[in-house]
Structure 1
Amino acid sequence: MKIFNFSCPAGLVLTILFCMLLLPPLTVHGEAGAKTPSAETADPEAKKIHISSERLISNTADNHAEFIGNVRAKQGETLIIADSLKIFFSGGSEVEPASPSQSLEKLVATGNVEIKFDNRLAVARQAVYITAQRMLILTGPGAMVTSGDNTITGETITFYRDDGRFTVEGGSNGRVKAVILPEESGLE
């Protein structure tokens, strides 16, 4: 399994290009300590996550809720479409279990996942967003992120939002693919 990292000078252009592919962070309405400028300046409605599905299974004892069947989750301009979406919250106490307005720890979207944001599209079998680390992990054969005419494909794509890094793993065939339309002369 090969890991594709951009560390050479020629890769600097690619690194800058793919930094543009990062998702805006997901926050929960009323979440304490949200540090994103858009969350602070946006109206309260834009902070809310709106989710629709065919079923909802909530387990307050284990601090998670799972939306199943034709799931659509929207926050601001970000849209997640999947077969299921499981949301994990930080632990509450026995007296007062965690609630969605407390602290969102992780989102796990599974099955036919599409994430649309800022004229970009991420497609994968599974997407995991870990809020504390601001990390998005896309997995499955053919996991792909597209921005305009630029595309990157692998079996695992990991974005580290805080420092702008990402890694792409090729999986069983060991190959990572990128299609880049440079604005300048490119490699010529």
Structure 2
Amino acid sequence: MTNIGRLLIRNIGAALLAGAFALGMAATAGAQNTKSNMEGLKLSNDQPIQIESDKLEIREQENLALFTGNVKVVQGTTTLQAGKMTVYYRGEGTSVASGDADIDRILVDDKVFLSSGTQQATADSGSFDMASQTFVLKGDKVVLSEGQNVFVGCQLTVLMASGEATLESCGGRVQIQLDPKSQKKN
């Protein structure tokens, strides 16, 4: 495995898992926003990550790695797909190629698709800020689904430390479709 692969395995797992857990939001309807606390949300870097793209460009002077063309990132049952993924890292003297870079943030663009088990999300773009542990999906239409349960807004923000998630409508209304058959029976 290359040094860039080891670096990303060590540092990007949190971003992938953030999106996967974001899909587990509980259904609570609201006119402008939907907020939920996602129980059991934990960051984990214990599974390997496989990254594929048509091209990888490392820009050491700009402290970034740019994956373009059919980007696919897989960790366990979580898959992230996008047209482009940019990984920004901190610090002078660090190198992506040597595996010692400290990831600052990750941006994904161009038809973002995220799936984990039976849960899926689509958006135009996404970002993960490592310092604030915040994951955001944005777009004209951000769609979260699990089976027949569907949440639609324009921005999903997940605070990883607390597990709190907010789905915003951006001027319109958040839309939720719930399938009564999906509710747990007591």
Residue 170 of structure 1 is matched in structure 2 by: 169
State the Cα distance separating 1:141 from its structure 2 match: 1.0
Q: Does structure 1 conserve the Cα–Cα contact (< 8 Å) formed by 2:34 and 2:174?
A: no
TM-score, structure 2 as length reference = 0.70
State the Cα distance separating 1:61 from its structure 2 match: 1.3
Residue 113 of structure 1 is matched in structure 2 by: 112
How do 1:106-185 and structure 2 match up within 5 A?
106-172=105-171, 174-182=172-180, 183=183
Count, aligned residues:
152
CA distance in 2, matches of 1:77, 1:105: 25
Per-residue CA distance 1:129-184 (angstroms, 9 max, x = gap): 12232221010111111123222111111111211211122124x11111223525
State the Cα distance separating 1:5 from its structure 2 match: 4.1
Q: What secondary structure does 1:171 align onto? A: coil
Q: Does structure 2 conserve the Cα–Cα contact (< 8 Å) formed by 1:105 and 1:130?
A: yes
Q: Does structure 2 conserve the Cα–Cα contact (< 8 Å) formed by 1:21 and 1:120?
A: no
CA distance in 2, matches of 1:163, 1:62: 32
Amino acid at match of 2:146: S
Residue 33 of structure 2 is matched in structure 1 by: 4
Q: Which runs of 5+ in 1 are unaligned?
A: 7-14, 26-35
CA distance in 1, matches of 2:76, 2:118: 13
Larger Rg, first or second structure (1 or 2): 1
Residue 57 of structure 2 is matched in structure 1 by: 57
TM-score, structure 1 as length reference = 0.69
Q: Percent identity?
A: 22
Across the aligned residues of Structure 1 and Structure 2, the Cα RMSD in angstroms comes to: 2.5
